[in-house]
Amino acid sequence: MKDIKSPKIYLLFLTAWLNSFVLTAQVTYSADVKPIIQKHCISCHHPEGPAPFSLESYADVQKRAKFISYVTGQGYMPPWKADSTFQHYRNERILSANEIQQLRKWVETGTMMGSELEEGNGSQRIEIYRKPTVKLEMNAKFEIPSNNKDDFRFFYLPTKIKSEKYITGIEFRPDNKRRVHHSRLMIDTTGTIAGIDGLSEMDTAVYRYQNVALADEFLYGWVPGNFVFRFPKGFGRRLPANSNLILNMHYAPSVLKEEDRSGVHLYLTEKTNISREVKTYILRESNISNQPFEIRANEKPTFYMSSGVLDKDLSFITVQPHAHLLGKSFRAFAITGDGDLIPLVKINDWDFDWQTTYEFKQLIHVPAGSVIVMEGSYDNTSENPRNPYFPPRDAAYGWRTVDEMMNLIFYYVDYKPGDEKLELEYED
């Protein structure tokens, strides 16, 4: 400061320096950090969540303050795989440069709590979600086979719901997070296939139950990274009277003796509260154009394209791509009859552990006659650190961890004029 001759310049310099110090000193948990945690982190980091620790309170966050600052600064957390330059989503978990800087400053200035919060004050705890209407779980603990093979099982979950309801939210809750590879939820209204509970897909007794028509063959699919999901206000998935859930569970191979008792949380409402019924549209491996779907060892990359033509106007609410360990990148879009391209989702670096249901900020109107396209690339070389085999082996379609899949799953409602400008509301 000795070299600053002009009093005016000195005063400006001093003011800027003091303002910088004051702004830095004022970064607190309650005013600055808590909103960031609530927006980007708490959906996973709560006491019953999938993350390894909770960030529900000031004490929880302060305990790991340096770690949080580091992983957010490196871009490792929060995990978000979709390319935001291709499409934006309501549930984006992307920290801004300012939010990252606020976390860093908070650590550097002593992780202050904030004057309006006092130790033990309940207001310091972050409200996570409203409580589910129904909590279901498997009827008993299941002993997972320790034969080092993939295991596929069916479980039957009675709901005891006697009248028609509408599902406004779903959360699958894996009990054994190490072994639950994925789960598919289905609906039975006949009450005649309860005997499927605990049966292996390899058991011939399963076949007689599979002949029964289900009310819903794909209510919801859980994969790692796909957590509690809510429909917009006034939207819901029909749950017929006397419905029961079927879980089609996939357990990953292990030689350890372990158990599982996973469950499902349902958020329900009456039909009178629902104005739009939610349905599902899926592109499957059978939609792949360049068959056969075989990923040869040591070929990099291997490209596949899947497509389907819409027979009516739809309004997409969400999109969810699905693949296994060899997946490398995916892009999905729609091409209308007029030749317009509608971006849906793009993932440049596929990560099996972070498969998300991406919620569009607004309904995406896709007209009848449009072609839904999914492009996928797979890396079946030793350069892929997730490759289940070294040296690599040929892979093809299958539900096992070492097999591959290529799905694109949408929740949608039938189109109504004005859907493109509809302001969606959410209760959470």
List, in sequence order, every residue forming a beta bridge with 25; answer none if it has no partner.
Answer: none
DSSP 206: H
Give the helix ranges, DSSP H, for 110-191: none
In this structure, are residues 376 and 330 in contact, taking their beta carbons and an 8 Å threshold?
yes
Q: What is the pTM of this model?
A: 0.85
Among 232, 236, 428, 250, CA closest to 322: 250
Across the range 246-275, mean pLDDT stands at 94
Quote the mean pLDDT of the chain: 89
- Between 97-108 and 65-73, two packed helices, what is the crossing angle to 10 degrees? 150
pLDDT in tens, 16-63: 554 554 444 578 998 999 999 988 888 788 877 777 888 988 999 999
Domain 280-421, architecture per CATH: Sandwich (2.60)
Among 128, 153, 137, 157, CA closest to 48: 128
**CATH 2.60.120.230 residue ranges for the chain:** 280-421
Across the range 181-190, mean pLDDT stands at 92
Distances (CA, A) of 371 to 307, 312, 411: 6, 11, 17
What is the Cα–Cα distance from 262 to 144, expressed in whole angstroms? 12
Comparing 117 with 175, which gets the higher pLDDT?
Answer: 175
What is the Cα–Cα distance from 409 to 366, expressed in whole angstroms? 15
Q: Amino acid letter at 79?
A: P
Q: Coil, strand or helix: which one is 144?
A: strand
Q: In CATH, what number does 134-277 get? A: 2.60.120
Could you tell me where the beta strands, DSSP code E, fall in 271-313?
276-277, 279-283, 294-295, 302-309
Residues 6+ apart with CB under 8 A from 390: 382
